[in-house]
Amino acid sequence: MQNEEQVLKYIENLIPDRSEAFKEIEQYAVEHDVPIMELVGIETLLQLLRMHQPKKILEIGTAIGYSALRMAEALPECKVVSVERDEQRHNKALANVETMNMSSQVFLIKGDALEVEHLVREHGPFDVLFIDAAKSQYRKFFDIYSKMLSPNGVIFTDNILFHGLVAEEKIESRNLRQLIRKIKEFNIWLMEHPDYHTAIMPVGDGLAISKKRG
Ligand code: SAH
Ligand code: MG
Taking 70 as the threshold, does the pLDDT of residue 1 lie above it?
Answer: no
What is the whole-number distance in angstroms between the Cα of residue 208 and the centre of ligand 1?
17
Across all residues in the chain, what is the average pLDDT? Answer: 96
Q: Which of 104, 32, 34 is CA-nearest to residue 69?
A: 104
Residue 160, CB half-sphere, CA atoms under 13 Å: how many? 27
Q: Which residue has the least CA distance to atom 6 on ligand 1?
A: 36
What confidence tier does 4 reach under pLDDT thresholds 50, 70, 90? confident
Q: What is the C-alpha to C-alpha distance for residues 102 and 94, in angstroms, rounded to an integer?
A: 10
pTM: 0.97
Say what the pLDDT of residue 214 is. Answer: 81
Report the relative pairing of strands 149-158 and 196-201 from DSSP bridges.
unpaired
What is the whole-number distance in angstroms between the Cα of residue 7 and the centre of ligand 1?
28
Condensed to tens digits (0 to 9), the pLDDT of residues 128-163 reads: 999 999 999 999 999 999 999 999 999 999 999 999
